[in-house]
Amino acid sequence: MICELCSSDVPRTKLVMVESAAVSSCPKCEKYASSGAVKTKEGKVMLPSVAERLGTRERRMRQKDILTRGEKELAFDYHQRVRKGRQKMTMSQDDLAKSLNEKKSIIVKIENGDIRPTDKLITKLERALDITLKEYLETDDDHGSKQQRSEGMTLGDFIKRE
Ligand SMILES: [Zn+2]
């Protein structure tokens, strides 16, 4: 029999109630079950020490995740940034096009969000308008995969909030 709280193989387990979940517990964990065990979002129940150990591993994995995610991407509102930056400089689209040695139609399309500027043009725009067009991608519900998110959970996430 496997104790669901400490995962050890024991001769016998007993069903105990932890936060309204029935859990097979070994005699050793039994005394913690009613008071000390925590319930995860997934409905798993474990001892705080076990959850803590898991949490430490999750944190380390998340740390690594952040370190490997270092690419800057074109900001989603790049067209607004270009327009605002140009207006701040009191330049017309014509002026900006000339100063960058680009066609006005390119500037218009960029400001409308119709086209994404090339890396070279991004650099030119940033310098000419004193703006930032690239930023580190944020992982959110739309873009971050569910798998990554669950790996990045902390102990705080594990403990079910009532
Ligand atoms: Zn146990």
Q: What's the sign of the alpha-carbon dihedral 25, 29, 32, 38?
A: negative
Together in a domain, 85 and 129:
yes
CA of 1 to the centre of ligand 1 (A): 10
Distance of CA 26 to the CA centre of its chain: 37
Together in a domain, 80 and 119:
yes
pLDDT digits (tens, 9 = 90+) for 80-92: 999 999 999 999 9
In a domain, 161, yes or no: no
Radius of gyration of the chain (CA): 27
Together in a domain, 109 and 130:
yes
CA of 29 to the centre of ligand 1 (A): 4
What is the residue-level pLDDT of the chain in tens, covering all 162 positions? 898 888 889 998 888 877 667 788 888 888 776 656 666 666 677 777 777 777 767 766 666 665 555 678 899 999 999 999 999 999 999 999 999 999 999 999 999 999 999 999 999 999 999 999 998 765 544 444 444 444 455 555 555 544
In a domain, 144, yes or no: no
pTM of the predicted structure, to 2 decimals: 0.45
CA of 44 to the centre of ligand 1 (A): 14
pLDDT digits (tens, 9 = 90+) for 13-41: 888 877 667 788 888 888 776 656 666 66
Q: CATH number, domain at 113?
A: 1.10.260.40
Averaged pLDDT score across all residues of the chain: 79
